[in-house]
Homo-oligomer: A and B are copies of this chain.
Amino acid sequence: MDRQMADIFTARLDATAGQVVTLLKSLLSGSPLEGEIVRPDELMAAMRHGVLNGGKRLRPFLVIETARLLGAPDAAAARVAAALECIHCYSLVHDDLPAMDDDDLRRGQPTVHVAFDEATAILAGDALLTLAFDILSAPETELPAETRLRLVNQLARAAGVGGMVGGQSLDLRAERVAPDEAGIVELQAMKTGALLRYACAAGAVAAGADDQVLARMTRFGEIVGLAFQLADDLLDVTSDAATLGKAAGKDAGRGKATWVSLHGVAAARQRLEQLVEEASELLEPFGSEAEILRQTAGFIASRER
């Protein structure tokens, strides 16, 4: 996209991130809700550290923009977005643990187990995961009961053993036994793809979209997920730690195969372009209203960190 358009897009992305962060801060306040006893200070601090640490809030943005395009109420969409971000952030907190990726830095800041301790990081992740389902199911998410239930159920499937967590398990295994190309695609569709797919599907569900529109937005989310992962794998090869704010070359260093390592940088860049094109085609029925989502796909494919 051209420079001016990119600036407008980035401003909108930042503004939405700001709104989501404000909501997340209030959801992560120390005041116990009905049915809670107390919210322990240290655990709350660790949860906030894991969530309120910058980040582009790409998944919330996708929820909110999809919901807006299809006519869901803004406030409800924002809560769905916040719930999804809690899931994403918990997965990072657990992923960074010594027994997992053993990362000390995340977005240039100490990870939760470094800033607190390992046990607190495990519990903070557990609490964020649980909070996501609290947020979606609470009456404050003003959507019909059937809609909220679908959002809960689809999030559980996207995030659980058959989605994100399962993908992390396959990723651990991939360090011992190299998967073939189909295995890599499956692993990535679960580990990073499932939440991005959910983001777009959830926006459509929140808007009460019909099955055809839901299927289209779900597919859009899948394409975005593929583009995201490919861009990530490219960055691992072509970027450096200072730009990424985390260690670069990690996958190659661990001998972890990616689509990029199998097919090369040039082929990966070409495939990225195709994915952006495909994403754009999926949005055609929505005309210029979908311009922001179209740009999002482009942004994801061309991001530098």
Enumerate chain A interface residues (CB-CB to B < 8 A): 32-40, 42-44, 47, 90, 94, 97, 99-100, 117-120, 122-123, 125-127, 129-131, 133-134, 136-138, 145-146, 148-149, 152-163, 165-170, 172-173, 186, 189-190, 194
Contact = CB atoms under 8 A, between A and B. Distances in A.
B122 A163 contact: no
Contact of A36 (B44, B133, B145, B162): B162
Contacts of A167: 37
A42 B169 contact: yes
A47 B167 CA distance: 15
A168 B159 CA distance: 23
Copies held by the complex: 2
Given A39-B161, A162-B33, A162-B38, A156 B127 contact: no
> Secondary structure of the A side of the interface?
helix
A37 B130 contact: no
Given A123-B165, A123-B168, A133-B155, 17 more contacts: A34-B157, A36-B157, A36-B160, A37-B163, A37-B189, A37-B190, A37-B194, A38-B162, A38-B186, A38-B190, A43-B161, A122-B122, A125-B126, A130-B159, A134-B157, A149-B152, A152-B152
